[in-house]
Amino acid sequence: MKEFYTIGEICKIFNIPSSTLRYYDSINLLSPWTTGENGYRYYSKAQFEIISMIGFMRSLGTPLKRLKKILSEGGPEGICAELRRNEKEIDERMEELQLLKQKVTLYEDIIAKTCSGPVFSLEDLPQMYLMCKPFGDKDELDVEEIIKVTRGSARWADTAGIFSTISRDDLEKGNFHTYEKYGYISELPYPKENRYTEVLAAGRYACGSMRIKTVEHFEADDFYRRLLDFVKDRGLTVTGPAIERNVLDIYGNDPMNPTMYFRVYIPVSKKYP
């Protein structure tokens, strides 16, 4: 193995752009070992380890200013502290990615059920988590008002969908456009409870997939009547409000008139004589 290498050779060995090496040289982070009689500057194989270390630390995101300070210290303490800091950040990113993976799985499942599954079904749903407020409050559409009271809940909201509820009484009266509550819903727990949080109990629900194409939601009337008939025909009774969950909006060629897909959950139980 030879002793000295040109800039071009180092670039090929370590897959580093020549502009990066020249910048490292300009800030005195890493400079060529020697200059040959031909005026060319050469790196030594003795620098391979430091070149590799710089590449590794940069891949972790360590800023050049901090890296230069660490490498100028006389001991390993600085580099070890930086590695521990990066390890903590990696753990946090892994948690975020795991949460994102959960959301992808849940979202894929609910889209499949809403857009491709049967229109009506009976399902045993898991416990779900709500962060909501009464529909009719002066700021009922200001969702930020819902989540700002909980530190860190904005990240939870990233895993959630928008929902509204129709009370049992309004369902029975056919008031399918009168909403009771509004907010976020998710299968994933929120980080902290507050005055807006509620838990939707696990249990048996009559579920329906609703597709809306009109701004006035005219389609909802026929949908809810059919869903309530579905419940009645199976000898069931409604035990709580309808949860109307906005799953997906598809804009197509007209962003002002999207097709909206909703998943509706109505808690039910067997009728008893």
**Side chain identity, residue 77:** E
Residue type, 221: D
Tally of structural domains, the chain? 2
89 lies in a domain?
Answer: no
pLDDT of amino acid 210: 95
Please say if the pLDDT value at position 25 is more than 80: yes
Encoded tokens for 20:
């990066």
Q: Is residue 77 part of a domain?
A: no
154-180 confidence digits (pLDDT tens): 778 877 889 999 999 999 999 999 999
Instruction: Please tell me whether residues 117 and 250 are part of one structural domain.
Output: yes
Please report which confidence band the pLDDT of residue 1 belongs to, taking 50, 70 and 90 as the band edges.
low
- Do 161 and 220 have their domain in common? yes
- Does a structural domain hold residue 81? no
What average pLDDT does the structure give for the chain? 89
Q: Is the pTM of the predicted complex or chain greater than 0.75?
A: no
On whether both 135 and 260 belong to a single domain, the answer is yes
DSSP assignment of 52-110 equals HHHHHHHHHT--HHHHHHHHTSSSSHHHHHHHHHHHHHHHHHHHHHHHHHHHHHHHHHH
Whether residues 143 and 190 share a domain: the answer is yes
Question: Among the listed ranges 15-19, 134-138, 196-200, which one has the minimum average pLDDT value?
Answer: 134-138
Residue (of 33, 56, 35, 36) closest to 45 by Cα position: 33
Same-domain pairing of 241 and 128: yes
pLDDT digit string (tens) for 42-86?
A: 999 999 999 999 999 999 999 999 999 988 887 889 889 999 999
Position 140 scores a pLDDT of 55
What residue numbers bound the domain in which 42 lies?
A: 4-72
**CATH number for the domain harbouring residue 208:** 3.20.80.10
Domain at 27, CATH number: 1.10.1660.10
| pLDDT of amino acid 159 | 73
Q: Based on the domain organization, do 173 and 121 belong to the same domain?
A: yes
pLDDT of 203-251, one tens digit each? 999 999 999 988 888 999 999 999 999 999 999 999 999 999 999 988 8
**Residue 13 has which token pair?**
């060995």
Which of 179, 183, 184 lies closest to 217 in space, CA to CA? Answer: 179
- Structure confidence at residue 136 as a pLDDT band (50, 70, 90): confident
Examine the domain organization and report whether 240 and 124 are in the same domain.
yes
